Amino acid sequence: MKKASLTTLIHLRKTLKLNPKSHIPICSNHIFTQNPSKPTFNSQNHDYPSKPHFQTPPKTQSFLHFSSNPFRKFTTLVDPEKPISQISSRQQKINERSELVDAFEEAKTASEMIKAFEKMEHILDGNELGFVLLKIGLKLDQEGESPDKVYEFADKCLKILDLNENDSAKDNEYSLPLAMCLQLLGSACYSLNRFNESLGYLNRANRILGKLDESVNEGVDVKHVLHAVHLNLVNTKNAMGRREDAIGNLKKCLEIKEMTLEKNSREIGNAYRDMAEAYVALLNFGEALPYCEKAMEIHKVQLGSNSVEVAHCRRLLGVIYTGLEQHEKALEQNQLSQKVMKNWGLTSELLRAEIDAANMQIALGKFDEAINTLKDVVLQTDKESEDRAMIFVSMAKALCNQDKFLEAKRCLQMACGILDKKEKSSPSEVSEAYMEISMQYESMNEFEIAISLLKKTLTMLEKIPNEQHAVGSASARIGWLLLLTGKLQESIPYLEDATERLTENFGSKHFGVGYVYNNLGAAYLELDRPQSAAQVFALAKDIMDTALGPHHVDSIEACQNLSKAYSAMKSYALAINFQEKAVEAWRGHGPSAQDELKEAQRVLHQLKVKACGESDDQKTLPSTHERRRSSKSSSNVSVD
């Protein structure tokens, strides 16, 4: 995700002005700017369903500008023409201070500012010193200096401004610069991969801005600063794997843009597309669709149907329709985007769109067409390029669907040969490709190769802080394959780890989490741990019912699994209850699910037979208490 940014100049009055005559800030003009940088759809992602990536944020491009002091027009000297020898020592100090402040304000670079600061540091104290430190920190960040150095100045500023936080008389005057300082600290910590610290600073900035009366600073729109904080929160939460949580902050960014920018402007169109991409990353294609359609509608009006922005929206629509399994619509959008890319001469984007088209043809069962498309595209790539590797992966997918396994394996081997050399330079892209290759080996029943590739992928991903969601996905797939190959005990740690990571990343009610719980329950049940199985099957059912609806095939399966767990515990009443729900759900599918309905009814009948047998056994055998009492009474009976 790109760095939080502002597109407009924010004019701040009554803040952050150095007074050459006093240590107390006086009224002045103040400008806070940030250059816009928006997350964009990653056109390099070739897999379907696709996962867009938000680019790594650049350094905060924000700085404080202290305008010339209007009060300096009025000199305090009795006679400016008097010789210096006749000027009082007090007036000399005022002049010296004024010169030092002027030198600092006229500095153009961070280095010049630091030199000027070192000369004037002795005349500063309190918040005045804090404001200078904040300006230097922001300028360092703008120039791309190391985040350690940025953090150093921002941290010193915070320690000073914090002294005034509880002073209600000054609260309004210092809240905005305090929030800006916290945002800078959050940004620096993000760059240093100190995500928990970043989150703490940004949440505090958000709370301060939420309480700030926007009328305090004339001409200031606090929403712009709030937008920057929320976008930084999106970055940090995504890096921590909390993508579901980050959606709320991204929605807030969109709301702020709609309040502050011109209706249906290009920037708002980009913000709608950002929302669509975020939902695609969560595999929530239904939610993504309206945002993408709205983005395309805005870009058509603002830029025309043949603009690059509209082409990008169409390509994203293709990803969304593929996720919704509407492959014809996906291919239609892809072809429309290709026409625009050809007109604009976007060679690399066009090449990736053609690879996307081949994947869509495979999804539609048009394997020969897909192979011909890929054969044409491969001629446009370099021998050692990642694009060529992904072409081989897609070709293997098509060949595999034609049962041409030897040819498919050769393609995968060529892809791995290219990707092996790219592991250090592009670990995220290579690990994603390895996961796709492992799926191809899995489809050919080459489970050991698939597991080996996934473990290699897992090792790579664990070293990348902002790829923890991918770590969860890789763990889930390894756990599933180990379960499939009968390595039950080995599968459990991977599945348990996957549930934790994916829950944190996608939310506790995401259907993907439900599938992992379902697999974990199956492992527990096979290891004769029915109580543990029942617990996770119940979680799976709850998630499936919420995410997919109770009559979805996977929801019914989860219900039947829960029945199996209770049956293994000999809790037949509960087992029958859930199996009856499954029977009713299958019945609602009509003739298309007759086989499933008959099997569910057979299992239900067996459960009722077992329940009756258990009941008969309980009637035949007296309870332990009754047997003991009977024994006692018989021993007391005298025999004549």
| Domain ranges for the chain | 1-72+91-247, 261-364, 539-619
Which residue's structure tokens are 């379907």? 48
* The predicted structure's pLDDT at residue 579: 94
* The predicted structure's pLDDT at residue 124: 77
Identical fold at 261-364 and 539-619? yes
CA distances from 544 to 243, 422, 500, 534, 559 (A): 20, 38, 17, 15, 9
Phi, psi for residue 590 in degrees, rounded to 5: 75, -155
* The predicted structure's pLDDT at residue 70: 32
Q: Which residues of the chain have pLDDT under 70?
A: 1-93, 95-96, 164-173, 213-221, 614-640
Sort 372 into a burial class: Cβ within 10 Å, 0-12 / 13-18 / 19+.
middle
pTM of the model: 0.73
Sort 54 into a burial class: Cβ within 10 Å, 0-12 / 13-18 / 19+.
buried
CATH 1.25.40.10 fits 261-364, yes or no: yes
* The predicted structure's pLDDT at residue 71: 29
* The predicted structure's pLDDT at residue 149: 92
DSSP E strand boundaries for 67-141: none
Q: What is the pLDDT of residues 131-186, one digit of tens each?
A: 889 999 989 988 888 899 999 999 999 998 887 655 544 455 678 889 999 999 99
CATH 1.25.40 fits 539-619, yes or no: yes
CATH 1.10.3720.10 fits 1-72+91-247, yes or no: no
One-letter identity of residue 40: T
